[in-house]
């Protein structure tokens, strides 16, 4: 079972190094991300579920980490995550049957971690 917190930690240093070389690009990306994922006509929770589904289709582990945490933070339930991932299987087929379970597992790991921190 992959450790999604470890994946996030492994990506942190290289991303920071690259950000040091191209800060304007990263700043633009952060601003776009905040604007795209904030509440609007669609609630942030729904947007995070969309982003998670796209992360599965793109087969991006770092994106799965970010948006499974984002979905949890936005209040998505495990059932909502599972249903969104079901749509990815419908639309993407076989590869989504590999990455969708990873996304659910990432969500579960971050949910468990959050529960343990609350104790």
Number of domains in the chain: 1
Concatenating the DSSP letter of every residue in 39-79 gives SSSS-HHHHHHHHHHHHHHHT-HHHHHHHHHHHHHTT--HH
For the whole model, what pTM was predicted?
0.90
Domain of residue 62: give its range. 4-118
Per-residue pLDDT tens listing for the chain (119 residues): 678 889 999 999 999 999 999 999 999 999 999 999 999 999 999 999 999 999 999 999 999 999 999 999 999 999 999 999 999 999 999 999 999 999 999 999 999 988 887 75
CATH number of the domain to which 109 belongs: 1.20.1290.10
């Amino acid at each position: 079972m992959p450790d999604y917190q470890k994946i996030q930690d492994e990506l942190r240093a290289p991303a920071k190094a690259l950000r040091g070389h191209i800060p304007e690009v990263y700043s633009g990306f952060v601003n776009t991300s905040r604007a795209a994922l904030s509440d609007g006509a669609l609630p942030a929770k729904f947007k995070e579920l969309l982003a998670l589904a796209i992360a599965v289709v793109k087969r991006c582990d770092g994106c799965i980490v970010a948006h499974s945490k984002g979905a949890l933070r936005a209040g998505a339930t495990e059932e909502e995550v599972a249903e969104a991932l079901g749509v990815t299987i419908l639309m993407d087929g076989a590869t989504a049957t590999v990455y969708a379970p990873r996304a659910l597992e990432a969500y579960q790991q971050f949910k468990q971690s959050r529960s343990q921190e609350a104790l």
